[in-house]
Amino acid sequence: MMVFVVVESIMIAGVTLYQFNKQNSEYHKDRLERKEKNLLVDIQYEVKKSLALTLESLSDSTVMEMADVHNMEFELYNLDGVLIKSSTAIKGIPGKTELDKNILNFFSENSSNRYMQEEKNNSYFKPSYNLVLSLENKPLGIIYIPYFADDTVSKEERSSFLIRLGFVHGNMILVAFVIAFFISSFVTKSLDAIGKTIKQTRLTDKNIKIENHNTPKEVVALVESYNTMIDKLKSSAVKLAKSERETAWREMAKQVAHEIKNPLTPMRLSIQTFERSYSKGQEFSKEKIKEFSDSLIQQIDTMSSIATAFSDFAEMPTPKKEKLNVIQIVDVALDIFNRDFIEFKCEDKEIEASFDRTQLIRITTNLLKNAFQAIPENKIPEIKVSISQNAKQVLILISDNGYGISKSDTEKIFEPNFTTKSSGMGLGLSMIKSILEAYNGSISFKSKKNKGTTFEVKFPKI
């Protein structure tokens, strides 16, 4: 917004300077033409009064008097270009000073009665030459008028206007900065509160809803979706408590908790990224905030679908097939992570497949989360995501520059409850494999110790 105000101020100043110069030029042009016309009419009547009907018949006193009356110096030449009369301010010598031949040629070759001489090195000096005609339109000679444009008043007005303009727009920039600061603080405060509440969300604990009083409109939808998810989690927990299948409950509770925690982690990363960007002074437009909210709402919807299925005797959501653009869905999943560390590559604009949108997002976010967690803290993350296709399949590659997978763990990596991390239940990769097999797909990987790992996801395309 502030950039817009500054650019607008510069444009207004430029247009103002242009308009002032244009008006000033037109003013002096009209003023010179008006003075020329009045002086020529005066000369015509003075020549007629002399009865001789020639410019030579004008007395010096008459010439000086006309110069004083019109406040304009001038010289009178005969048709051969020889000076015959001059006002006192001009130092030409009658009978000797002659006009430039180009001027005489102009009047002899053209039907125009006026010639303006352009002074390239001086825009304030505008000499003009006119044919002097008798009242019967008979050429009597040529008059030379040196006109000096006085722009002192115009410059003062222009300077005064620009100072006032600068003052007004300077205040506008200051006001815009203050408004932007308070709006950003207001929005960020709401998002910070949401982030803290999301961090405290637990499946088995009593979760607190977020109050949406004094919350920006762009964030209200996010708050409402989160509160709806809390209601569903509470309902699911009550139904689970009443279930008599204790063994099934324990196993399923682990898996559901893992699935709910899976989107919560990238949601927290997104909010942390937002906070870091704000602390560096970056401003956020309404579109950027809405994009951020939509990304988080999508993850909340994922958790809501899990909670709904959890209420039906702890069953995972039933996969459904829908026609979708794989590139678009994967790109949406990437938005909840810090994309500064992610290199996304795809040569196609659209790759269609019959897949469950929620499940595809879950697969992508789970693999990306694992990729980030596999990288040492003292190493800059380098995550590469690529999407391609062959005649029958979609191929998604996700690689990192982390620790890698040891040979002893390669055979157990897709087994339930197997994990090499200090936290987590080891259900993520097992679940991804089950989902892909339900869609006739597969997952495999290649890894080098301390170099990184690349997971390859394949499933049929349309």
- Report the candidate in 242, 277, 240, 238 with the shortest Cα–Cα distance to residue 255: 240
Residue of 187 and 19 predicted with greater confidence: 19
Cα–Cα distance between 34 and 160 in angstroms, integer? 29
Mean pLDDT of the chain: 80
**Is 256's pLDDT higher than 60?**
yes
In order of 210, 308, 318, 459, 460, the CA distances from 243 in angstroms are 29, 16, 20, 36, 38
**Is 394's pLDDT higher than 80?**
yes
CA angle 135, 129, 137 (to 5 degrees): 15
Residue of 9 and 333 predicted with greater confidence: 333
Task: State the average pLDDT over residues 399-418.
Answer: 85
Q: What is the pLDDT of residue 314?
A: 43
Q: pLDDT confidence of 234, banded at 50, 70, 90?
A: confident
Q: pLDDT confidence of 30, banded at 50, 70, 90?
A: confident
Residues whose CB falls within 8 Å of the CB of residue 402, separated by 6 or more in sequence, listed in order: 371, 373, 374, 375, 376, 379, 452, 453
Using an 8 Å Cβ cutoff, are 337 and 270 in contact? yes
Task: List, for residues 50-69, the tens digit of each pLDDT value.
Answer: 777 788 888 888 888 888 88
Domains and CATH numbers, the chain: 2-150 (3.30.450.20), 177-318 (no CATH), 319-462 (3.30.565.10)
Cα–Cα distance between 461 and 27 in angstroms, integer? 74
pTM greater than the 0.75 cutoff? no
Residue of 448 and 2 predicted with greater confidence: 448
Q: What is the pLDDT of residue 284?
A: 74
Buried-exposed string 167-178: b where 16+ CB fall within 10 A, e elsewhere? eebeeebeebee
Q: For a pLDDT cut of 90, what percent of the chain falls above it? A: 24
Task: Give phi and psi for 65, each to the nearest 5.
Answer: -65, -45
Task: State the average pLDDT over residues 308-333.
Answer: 74
- 357-373 vs 428-438: helix crossing angle, rounded to 10: 150
| Residue 332, both tokens | 């949406």
Q: What is the pLDDT of residue 218?
A: 61
Q: pLDDT confidence of 361, banded at 50, 70, 90?
A: very high
- Give me the half-sphere count of Cα atoms (radius 13 Å) on the Cβ side of residue 345: 10
Cα–Cα distance between 392 and 385 in angstroms, integer? 20
Q: What is the pLDDT of residue 175?
A: 84
Rg (CA), the chain: 43
Task: State the average pLDDT over residues 377-404.
Answer: 94
443, containing H or E segment: strand 442-448
Q: What is the pLDDT of residue 244?
A: 47
